Amino acid sequence: MKRDNLFATETSKSNSQFVKDLSTVVKKYGFIIHNEENMEMSQSFGKHGAEVAKNFDLHMIQICKPEKAARSLSANPERAVLMPKFIMTFTQNGKTQIRFLSYSADNIRAVIDDEQFPASLAETYKKITEIIEEAK
Q: Give the CATH number for residue 19.
A: 3.30.310.70
* pTM for the model: 0.90
Per-residue pLDDT for 116 more than 60? yes
109-118: long-range pairs with CB below 8 Å, 24+: 110/1, 111/81, 111/82, 112/76, 112/78, 112/79, 112/81, 112/82, 114/76, 114/78, 114/79, 116/75, 117/72, 117/76, 117/79, 117/82
Which has more pLDDT, 38 or 96? 96
**What confidence score (pLDDT) does residue 76 get?**
95
- In terms of residue numbers, what domain contains 60? 5-135
pLDDT band at 3 (very low <50, low <70, confident <90, very high): low
Please tell me the total count of domains within the chain: 1
Q: Can you give the pLDDT at residue 93?
A: 93
In this predicted structure, the answer to whether residue 1 has a pLDDT above a threshold of 70 is: no
